[in-house]
């Protein structure tokens, strides 16, 4: 165990004074019901949000709050944490229960949560400065290219509708087809004075995005 922890310390370039906190950050609740990383994950999520917010405000001092909020959402989310965790191969160092050791097990959620717990542990052990150093090391490229903020179709349609009509778009589920294990959702999207545009998706959210995209194309927005 000591060797495993030492290898990870070298990999992340941070030496813990408290090995107990370090080990806890890597301990999933499936391994130990009471002594696990859930509280450190909660803390790490807040520390991550603080550091990214601080750096975005410094990078874009004249940008509107709404745009910075979109950049933040693109940088701080479960998918991004899972991607960074996978680069570190953090799951290799985690303490997991037997039910999480299946060969085909998908680890994205628990590895992303573990990354946040690790951030919480570094903050607890070494303070904000060390936590920020760790975060910026792994979020550096993402922050560098945060100028290119992707705005999804639903958000774009909503902003247009609110600006022009002061009303939100409406989405209506028309029908669900296909087998229970692989449903297909058909949804319509509409704004004031527009026709209803329908689209399908593997989830309601995906169908709404597709309908919004098609409506934007129809409106030539």
Largest CA distance in the chain: 66
In CATH, what number is assigned to the domain containing residue 198? Answer: 3.30.160.20
- 105, 120, 144 — which closes off a domain? 144
Q: How many domains does the chain have?
A: 2
Active site residue 83: no
Residue range 139-161: mean pLDDT, rounded = 83
Task: Name the band, by pLDDT with cuts 50, 70 and 90, for residue 147.
Answer: confident
H-type alpha helices, 60-165: 65-75, 78-88, 108-144, 153-165
Residues 89 and 31 in one domain: yes
Residues 103 and 184 in one domain: no
Long-range CB contacts (within 8 A, 24+) of 9-13: 11/88, 12/88, 12/118, 12/134, 13/134, 13/137
Residues 65 and 30 in one domain: yes
Residues 101 and 180 in one domain: no
Q: Are 26 and 118 a contacting pair, CB within 8 Å? A: yes
> Model confidence over 119-140: pLDDT tens digits?
999 999 999 999 999 999 999 9
Residue 47: helix, strand or coil by DSSP?
helix
Question: What's the sign of the alpha-carbon dihedral 15, 18, 19, 25?
Answer: negative
Residues 134 and 39 in one domain: yes
Give Cα separations from 9 to 114, 136, 162, 184 (angstroms). 15, 17, 49, 46
Q: Are 211 and 185 a contacting pair, CB within 8 Å? A: no
pTM of the model: 0.70
Residues 36 and 134 in one domain: yes
Residue 74: what pLDDT? 87
Active site residue 113: no
Non-local CB neighbours of 44 within 8 Å, separated by 6+ positions? 25, 115, 116, 117, 118, 119, 120, 121, 123
> Model confidence over 38-49: pLDDT tens digits?
999 999 999 999
| Catalytically annotated residue among 17, 34, 41, 45 | 45
Residues 213 and 186 in one domain: yes
CA dihedral of 70, 76, 82, 84, whole degrees rounded to 10: 100
- 90, 123, 144 — which closes off a domain? 144
Percent of the chain with pLDDT over 70: 95
Residues 175 and 131 in one domain: no
Residues 122 and 182 in one domain: no
Task: Name the band, by pLDDT with cuts 50, 70 and 90, for residue 103.
Answer: very low
Non-local CB neighbours of 69 within 8 Å, separated by 6+ positions? none
Residues 24 and 100 in one domain: yes
Residues 51 and 6 in one domain: yes
| Catalytically annotated residue among 41, 116, 125, 132 | 116
Residues 77 and 161 in one domain: no
DSSP state of 106: -
Task: Name the band, by pLDDT with cuts 50, 70 and 90, for residue 101.
Answer: low
In CATH, what number is assigned to the domain containing residue 20? Answer: 1.10.1520.10
Structural domain range at position 68: 2-144
- 126, 144, 162 — which closes off a domain? 144
């Amino acid at each position: 165990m000591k060797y495993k922890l030492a290898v990870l310390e070298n990999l992340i370039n941070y030496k813990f004074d408290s090995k107990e906190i370090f080990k806890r950050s890597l301990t999933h609740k499936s391994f130990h019901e009471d002594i696990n990383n859930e509280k450190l994950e909660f803390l790490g999520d807040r520390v991550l949000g603080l550091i990214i917010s601080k750096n975005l405000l410094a990078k874009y001092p004249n940008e509107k709050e709404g745009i910075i909020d979109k950049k933040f959402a693109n940088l701080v989310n479960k998918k991004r944490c899972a991607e960074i965790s996978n680069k570190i191969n953090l799951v290799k160092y985690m303490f997991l229960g037997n039910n999480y050791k299946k060969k085909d097990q998908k680890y994205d959620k628990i590895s992303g949560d573990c990354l946040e717990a690790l951030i919480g542990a570094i903050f607890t052990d070494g303070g904000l400065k060390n936590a920020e150093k760790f975060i910026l090391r792994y979020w550096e490229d993402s922050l560098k290219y945060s100028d290119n903020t992707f705005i999804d179709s639903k958000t774009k349609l909503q902003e247009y509708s609110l600006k022009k009509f002061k009303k939100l778009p409406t989405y209506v589920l028309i029908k669900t087809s296909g087998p229970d294990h692989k449903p297909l959702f058909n949804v319509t999207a509409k704004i004031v004075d527009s026709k209803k545009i329908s689209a399908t998706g593997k989830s309601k959210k995906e169908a709404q995005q597709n309908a919004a995209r098609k409506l934007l194309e129809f409106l030539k927005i």
